[in-house]
């Protein structure tokens, strides 16, 4: 507050003697000068407040057109930003507290205050109004924040939460006050050690940051990026915590979708060529290191697929590829890795499968394909597949050789008239 400027005071007092005493006190030499306008009714005070700005109102509560706390409320309604000091005829603690609750910044008992105490009261009232306005601005900013903000006591019980937290969690404000967040949104997907580490950090006085999965009121899970900062009192003791939370559910979903797109074939949903080759390298490295059970590798290629595209169109060709991928998924085990390498070419890694198991699985899939019929406007679509099968063992733990062997077996199946399953043999 700049005390060098002239402080504009509106004195609302119908007793001439009391008004004169206040004016005399404010005219005495002080560190600040006062520009005083005196009126004797509430209506005149409201007119003055509507016409020009004032820093403070010295208000008598016994006026010809108003009395009691309603006078304070009417002045506050006319100008919410002005500081109000009530001038009362007698000291009454309960009444004094009521004036403060009604909107007054302070009160003085007539005949019992000196010019210096009046000046101090004016300065205090102006500072309080300025501080209240600043606090209202901060609260408005917190309430308008897109991130969820929660203030708890030292034990973690919520004392304040902004609308974003209520929207994100699904709870109304009255539902969350005096409750711990764990009572409301804990998902149970983080173990006890997670929360113990969190509390250890913040009780030590440090800020904790991390990601957490919580549960909305309707049971829906959501991801949050959370930071919790301790707040200390004047004695340096932690008495509150402020949690700032950002809902990152959509970001997580997009990240997972990008990872899925990077690993899968967009048309069939099977793994793509890159993932297949990476997995094959891992399996060959494991074989070379551990000398474990052999692995079978299948190379599959749809027969005369170009004819399907030329005859029925590329949309029908895509439908055939999706149908074939579904048949693969229906036949593989959870430990197998099926992939589309490109075009009409597919591959399957069968960990732990010997020659008998691999040929049985391949032959079963081949017969299902041969028996399948897909309806189409131009007529029913049928297709076949040729399959080459090769083994990958500890004595031959090389992915390039395995691919070459399976591809050679596939070539043999094609050369024998297609719609065949062939085992690689030297």
The pLDDT-based confidence of 3 (bands split at 50, 70, 90) is: very low
**End-to-end distance of the chain based on CA atoms, in angstroms?**
95
C-beta of residue 266 within 8 angstroms of C-beta of residue 167:
no
CATH 3.40.50.2300 fits 7-142, yes or no: yes
The pLDDT-based confidence of 287 (bands split at 50, 70, 90) is: confident
pLDDT beyond 80 at 13 = yes
CA dihedral (215, 217, 218, 223) in degrees, to 10, reads -30
Would you list the domain boundaries of the chain?
A: 7-142, 148-252, 264-423
The mean pLDDT value of the chain amounts to: 91
Tell me how crowded residue 280 is: count the other CB atoms within 10 A of its CB. 21
Q: Which of 105-119, 198-212, 274-288 has the highest mean pLDDT?
A: 198-212
pLDDT digit string, tens, across residues 309-330:
999 999 999 999 999 999 999 9
C-beta of residue 164 within 8 angstroms of C-beta of residue 148:
yes
> Can you give the pLDDT at residue 396?
65
β-sheet bridge partners, residue 215? 221
pLDDT digit string, tens, across residues 349-385:
999 899 999 999 999 999 999 999 999 888 899 999 9
Tell me how crowded residue 365 is: count the other CB atoms within 10 A of its CB. 22
**Which run of H or of E encompasses 260?**
helix 249-263
C-beta of residue 247 within 8 angstroms of C-beta of residue 168:
yes
Listed in sequence order, the DSSP H helices in 291-398 are 305-312, 314-331, 355-371
Q: Which whole-number Å values give the CA distances from 335 to 283, 297, 352, 387, in the listed order?
A: 12, 13, 9, 20
Superfamily of structural domain 148-252: PAS domain (3.30.450.20)
Residue 77 CB contacts under 8 Å (≥ 6 apart), including other chains:
none
pLDDT beyond 70 at 1 = no
> Can you give the pLDDT at residue 156?
95
The topology under which CATH files domain 264-423 is: Alpha-Beta Plaits (3.30.70)
Report how far residue 316's alpha carbon sits from residue 59's, in angstroms, rounded to the nearest whole number: 87
Residue 385's closest CA among 403, 364, 355? Answer: 364
Residue 148 CB contacts under 8 Å (≥ 6 apart), including other chains:
161, 162, 164, 165, 168, 169, 224, 243, 244, 245, 246, 247
C-beta of residue 350 within 8 angstroms of C-beta of residue 423:
no
């Amino acid at each position: 507050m700049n005390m060098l400027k002239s402080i504009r005071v509106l004195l609302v007092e119908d007793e001439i003697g009391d008004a004169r005493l206040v004016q005399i006190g404010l005219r005495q030499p002080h560190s600040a000068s006062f520009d005083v306008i005196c009126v004797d009714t509430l209506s005149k005070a409201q007119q003055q407040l509507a016409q020009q700005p004032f820093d403070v109102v010295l208000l008598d509560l016994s006026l010809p057109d108003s009395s009691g706390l309603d006078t304070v409320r009417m002045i506050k309604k006319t100008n919410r930003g002005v500081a109000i000091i009530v001038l009362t005829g007698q000291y009454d603690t309960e009444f004094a507290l009521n004036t403060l609750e009604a909107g007054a910044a302070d009160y003085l008992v007539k005949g019992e205050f000196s010019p210096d105490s009046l000046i101090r009261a004016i300065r205090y009232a102006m500072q309080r109004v300025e501080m209240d306005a600043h606090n209202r601005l901060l609260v408005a900013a917190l309430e308008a924040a897109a991130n969820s903000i929660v203030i708890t006591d030292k034990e973690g019980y919520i004392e304040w939460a902004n609308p974003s937290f209520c929207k994100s969690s699904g709870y109304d404000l009255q539902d969350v006050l005096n409750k711990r967040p764990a009572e409301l949104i804990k998902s149970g997907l983080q173990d006890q050690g997670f929360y113990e580490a969190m509390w250890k950090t913040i009780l030590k006085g440090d800020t904790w940051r991390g990601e957490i999965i919580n549960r909305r009121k309707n049971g829906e899970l959501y991801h949050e990026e959370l930071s919790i900062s301790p707040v200390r009192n004047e004695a340096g003791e932690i008495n509150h915590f402020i949690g700032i939370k950002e809902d990152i559910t959509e970001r997580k979903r997009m990240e997972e979708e990008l990872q899925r797109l990077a690993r899968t074939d967009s048309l069939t949903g099977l793994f793509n060529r890159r993932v297949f080759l990476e997995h094959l390298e891992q399996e060959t490295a494991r074989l070379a290191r551990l000398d474990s059970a052999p692995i079978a590798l299948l190379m599959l290629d749809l027969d005369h697929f170009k004819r399907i595209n030329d005859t029925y169109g590329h949309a029908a060709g895509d439908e055939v590829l999706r149908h074939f991928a579904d048949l693969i998924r229906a036949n593989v085990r959870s430990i197998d890795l099926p992939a589309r390498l490109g075009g009409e070419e597919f591959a399957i890694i069968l960990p732990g499968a010997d020659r008998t198991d691999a040929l049985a699985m391949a032959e079963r899939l081949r017969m299902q394909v041969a028996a399948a019929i897909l309806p189409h406007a131009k007529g029913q679509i049928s297709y076949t597949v040729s399959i080459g099968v090769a083994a990958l063992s500890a004595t031959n733990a090389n992915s390039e050789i395995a691919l070459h062997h399976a591809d050679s077996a596939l070539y043999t199946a094609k050369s024998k008239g297609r719609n065949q399953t062939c085992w690689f043999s030297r």
